[in-house]
Structure formats: C-alpha cells, structure tokens
Structure 1
Amino acid sequence: MLKEFKEFIARGNVMDLAVGVIVGSAFTAIVKSLVSNIINPLIGIFVGKIDFSSIVFSVGSAHFRVGSFLNSVINFLIISFVIFILVKFVNKFNKDEEKKEEEKEISEEAEYLKEIVALLKEEKEIESTSTPTTKNEKTVSETK
C-alpha cells in the first residue's frame, strides 16, 4: 500500500496539480493586493464610497450583512476581470511564440522541398541527356 501511494504521489499529474495550487494561492494573494490597494481606490475616485460593509438588515436578532456580501461580489468580479486580462495576455504571447515556431518549421520544410525539387530536376536533366528520345529506340537499347 505504501508503494502504491508513492507511485500515486510521484505521478506527473499530481505534482503538476500541487504546483498549480501553490502557485495559484500565491498568485491569488498578488491579485487580491492589486485589487484592494490599486484598483479599488481608483474605482473609489470615480464612484465614491466603494465599501458597502455597513449595509446590514436586521430581522429580529438575526443580522444579515448584505454589504459585506456585495463587497465580496465586487471583489470577485474585479479579480476575475484582472485574471481574464492576464490570461488573455499570456495566451497571446504563447500564440506568438507558437507562430514563430511554426514559421521555422514551415521554412525548414520548404527548404527541404526546394532541395528535393532541385534534385528531381537534375535527375530529369541527366535522364533526358542520356536516354534515347523514342520508345522504340529505348527498348532496343535496353535489350542489348
């Protein structure tokens, strides 16, 4: 059972997932800081008060903190938008890199094709100069 556990943990997918979770949590901290320290104050300049945490509804002895929930929703939307922009930027960068690699591959393939065509032309020229021009002459020369 311990051996199976070691194999399970050593698999690439589990390690990739672990790295993803760790990097994701660190990235979340960065994005939260960006939103709370830079983007929310910018929005606050144009909108005014951005903190809704003081909105509370009370029914009997129960207190519903709707304002805190609204703050969380706004933060989620802002964070999601920032991550969307970052992912879009990274995907564009990766796409540009892939295009460059494809162009290199295409140019190498085109180079090889050009060489093949040149060799075929040379071979055709050699055959045309060394072989007879008519079929009958060709078959007579081959039988000799």
Structure 2
Amino acid sequence: MLKEFKEFAMRGNVVDLAIGVVLGGAFGAIITGLVEGIINPIIGALTAGITIDELSANIAGVDMKYGMVLSAILKFIIIAFVIFLVVKAINKAKKPEAEPDPTTKVCPFCKTDIPIEATRCPNCTSELKA
C-alpha cells in the first residue's frame, strides 16, 4: 500500500497540482495584501474613512457585513483576471502544433474522400490526375 501511495504521489499531475495549490495560496495572500493595503485605503480616503470591509447594514438588530462579501468578490475578480492574462500569455507563447500530412483527398468529380495515393476514384471510377 505504501508503494502504491508513493507511485500516486510522484505521478506528474499530482505534483503539478500540489505546486499549483501552493502557488495559488501565495498568490491569494498577495492579492489580499493588495486589496487590504492599497485598494481599501484609497476607497477609505475617497469615502471619508469607510473601507469596503466596514460596509454593513443593520437589519432587525443584526449587522449584515456585506462589505466583506464585496471585498471577497473584488479579490476574486483580480485573481481571475490575472490568471486569464497568464493563461493567455502561455497560449500565445506555445508553438502551434503542426498539421499532420493529409491521408485523403477529395475526388473532383464525385466529391468523396479517397486515399491520397489513389489514381482512380473507387466510387465513381474517374481517373485522377497525379
């Protein structure tokens, strides 16, 4: 059982996932610092000292802190946008895969697919030029 677990843990996609989780957590901490350290104070300066996290509504004697939800949504949007930019850059950097050589061609007479080496169409028996 220990051997099976070692094989599972050392599989490439599991290691990649673990690295992604660790980097995602670190990136989340950076975004939290950005929102709480820079964006919230800017909003506080523009709104007489009220930051996003402090927004709340008192309903039937209970404080509904909707500002915390707004802050979480802002963090999510920033993270999603950065991930979008990273994936877009990676896709752009990838070399396009070469198209495989065709194995069939279209008969100019009956418009059916035939082997590329064919000199006569097996469907309409037309003679094909090389």
Could you tell me the TM-score, scaled by structure 2's length? 0.59
Structure 1 residues 79, 3: closer, same or farther in 2, change over 3 A?
same
Structure 1 residues 78, 66: closer, same or farther in 2, change over 3 A?
same
Structure 2 match to 1:87:
83
For 1:45, the aligned partner's letter is: A
Equivalent pairs, count: 98
Select which of 46, 55, 69 maps to 1:73.
69
Pairing of 1:112-131 with structure 2 (within 5 A): none
For 1:38, the aligned partner's letter is: I
> Take 1:6 and 1:95, find their aligned partners in 2: how far apart are those partners?
32
Aligned residue for 1:102, secondary structure, equals coil
For 2:35, the aligned partner's letter is: V
Contact 1:53/1:65 (8 A) holds in 2: no
> Take 2:92 and 2:4, find their aligned partners in 1: how far apart are those partners?
42
Structure 2 match to 1:38:
38
- The 10-residue stretch of structure 1 (85-94 or 11-20) with the greater mean CA deviation from structure 2: 85-94
> Take 1:5 and 1:91, find their aligned partners in 2: how far apart are those partners?
31
Which runs of no fewer than 5 residues in structure 1 stay unpaired? 107-144
- Point out the structure with the larger strand share: 2
For 1:85, the aligned partner's letter is: F
Structure 2 match to 1:52:
54
Which protein is bigger by CA-based radius of gyration? 1
Structure 1 match to 2:15:
15
Structure 2 match to 1:102:
96
Aligned residue for 1:75, secondary structure, equals helix
Q: CA RMSD in A?
A: 2.9
Once the two structures are TM-superposed, the CA of residue 29 in structure 1 deviates from its matched residue by: 0.8
Contact 1:32/1:79 (8 A) holds in 2: yes
> Take 1:102 and 1:14, find their aligned partners in 2: how far apart are those partners?
27
Which runs of no fewer than 5 residues in structure 2 stay unpaired? 100-130
Once the two structures are TM-superposed, the CA of residue 58 in structure 1 deviates from its matched residue by: 6.5
Higher relative contact order (CA 8 A, sep 6+): 1
1:78-105 CA distance string (max 9 Å, x none):
101211221232233223323xx339x6
Once the two structures are TM-superposed, the CA of residue 35 in structure 1 deviates from its matched residue by: 0.6
For 1:15, the aligned partner's letter is: V
Contact 1:56/1:66 (8 A) holds in 2: yes
Structure 1 residues 47, 85: closer, same or farther in 2, change over 3 A?
farther
